[in-house]
């Protein structure tokens, strides 16, 4: 049980000792807890020599797709966090590379590598502006990401026991030009949230459910670029999350989301036969993401949300709920 004020001070010192007085640093912001807290910490350490980047990888939730919403997010980075941010649309690069790819680990590796390429492309642009090319990259990697991607040496485990390559750990390319700064690498999520409080990160950021770096790519099973899968998933997910918020359940749940199955089932609407996709709703409670229980919704909530989804989302005629804990399942389906 560490004191987060001490951790903060220690990490600030550590960042200052790594980054020379004229050196610059870049950081990818996702709008989530980890990258926000990591960026705020580094900003406190080196000020405006930190340059943040928001990457649209084409795998974001509905909330980020609409321009107004994105502008709201960008202005909240600037107004609430005082972090200057550049927004880059790299969705064609990511989706192009993912076309036809079905294997979950390959998807993760492709996304991890593509993020690094986007950051490596951003660094020289910052360099032109400030006169020196940034050579560091901040990542909001947490302890559980490290454990699940590559078990620590001496733990008696080896890489064949990797559970998943988190995009920002096991998914990183072998060759990269940026040195990593990972100030949260030894912390669990609840500790990061405490640290965020000391850094004056608004509650609206700290309470956000975790969202995986590979985004919806690990929630559309199989080829993410197939048909209209991403858009269907976005609509279903948005209805589910909104219902959770409306019912006042958001803060009781560790994480909730929908999954798109590349499976079509027979249904009936009016007197018409349909042959449409099945989706899954998953909501869990957890302390740290390492183990999890499924969340028990009452009947009324489920009935309403399922009818909304089937009535409003074209292409979906069946809704399932995932009632598996971790273990034996993982949180994400891929």
Q: Which residues are annotated as a binding site for ATP?
A: 30-36
Whether the bond between 327 and the residue before it is cis, its omega within 30 degrees of 0, is yes
Among 83, 109, 289, 319, binds ligand XMP (CB under 6 A): 289
The CB-of-204 to ligand XMP minimum distance in angstroms stands at: 19
- 3 state DSSP class of 308: helix
Strand partners, 258: 281
Binders of ligand XMP in range 223-252 (CB under 6 A)? none
Contact with ligand XMP (CB under 6 A): which of 56, 223, 238, 332? 332
Among 36, 225, 255, 317, binds ligand XMP (CB under 6 A): 255
Cβ closer to ligand XMP: 24 or 166?
Answer: 166
Q: How many residues belong to the site for ligand XMP (CB under 6 A)? A: 18
Give the one residue of 210, 262, 267, 315 binding ligand XMP; rule: CB under 6 A: 210
Site for ligand XMP in 164-203 (CB under 6 A): 164, 166-168
Which stretches within the chain are classed as H helix? 4-18, 33-46, 62-65, 67-79, 91-98, 104-130, 143-149, 189-198, 203-206, 229-246, 299-312
- Token code pair at residue 221: 């099973």
The answer to whether 261 and 277 are in contact (CB under 8 A) is: yes
DSSP calls for 139-171: ----HHHHHHHSPPTTSS--GGG-----TTTTT
In degrees, to the nearest 5, what angle opens at C-alpha 310 toward C-alphas 308 and 314?
115
CA distance 78 to 83: 5
Instruction: Considering the complex, state which of residue 164 and residue 318 has its C-beta at the smaller distance from ligand XMP.
Output: 164
Stretch that binds ligand XMP, among 13-21, 48-56, 208-216, 315-323 (CB under 6 A): 208-216
215 binds ligand XMP (CB under 6 A): no
Interface pick for ligand XMP out of 113, 114, 148, 191 (rule CB under 6 A): 148
Residues making contact with ligand XMP (CB under 6 A): 108, 145, 148, 163-164, 166-168, 210, 212-214, 255, 289, 326, 330-332
């Amino acid at each position: 049980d560490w004191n987060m004020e001490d951790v903060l001070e220690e990490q600030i010192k550590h960042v200052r000792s790594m980054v020379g007085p004229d050196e610059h640093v870049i950081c990818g912001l996702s709008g989530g807890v980890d990258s926000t807290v990591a960026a705020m910490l580094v900003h406190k350490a080196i000020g405006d020599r930190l340059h943040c980047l928001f990457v649209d990888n084409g795998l974001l939730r509905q909330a980020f797709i609409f321009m107004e919403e994105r502008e709201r997010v960008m202005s909240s980075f600037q107004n609430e966090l005082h972090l200057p941010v550049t927004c880059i649309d790299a969705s064609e690069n990511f989706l192009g590379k993912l076309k036809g790819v079905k294997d979950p680990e390959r998807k993760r590796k492709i996304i991890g590598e593509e993020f690094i390429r986007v950051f490596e492309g951003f660094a020289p642009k910052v360099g032109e502006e400030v006169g020196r090319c940034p050579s560091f990259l901040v990542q909001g990697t947490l302890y559980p990401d490290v454990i699940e991607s590559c078990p620590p040496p001496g733990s008696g485990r080896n890489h064949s026991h990797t559970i998943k390559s988190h995009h920002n750990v096991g998914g990183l390319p072998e060759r990269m030009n940026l040195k990593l700064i990972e100030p949260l690498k030894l912390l669990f999520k609840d500790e990061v949230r405490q640290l965020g409080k000391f850094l004056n990160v608004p509650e609206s950021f700290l309470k956000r459910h975790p969202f995986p770096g590979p985004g919806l790519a690990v929630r559309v099973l199989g080829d993410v670029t197939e048909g209209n899968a991403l858009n269907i998933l976005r609509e279903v997910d948005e209805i589910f999350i909104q219902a959770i918020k409306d019912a006042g359940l958001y803060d009781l749940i560790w994480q909730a989301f929908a999954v798109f199955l590349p499976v079509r089932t027979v249904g009936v609407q009016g007197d018409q036969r349909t042959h449409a996709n099945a989706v899954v709703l998953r909501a869990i409670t957890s302390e740290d993401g390492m183990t999890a229980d499924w969340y028990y919704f009452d009947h009324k909530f489920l009935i309403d949300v399922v009818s909304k989804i089937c009535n409003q989302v074209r292409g979906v005629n069946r809704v399932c709920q995932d009632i598996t804990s971790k273990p034996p399942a993982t949180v994400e389906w891929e």
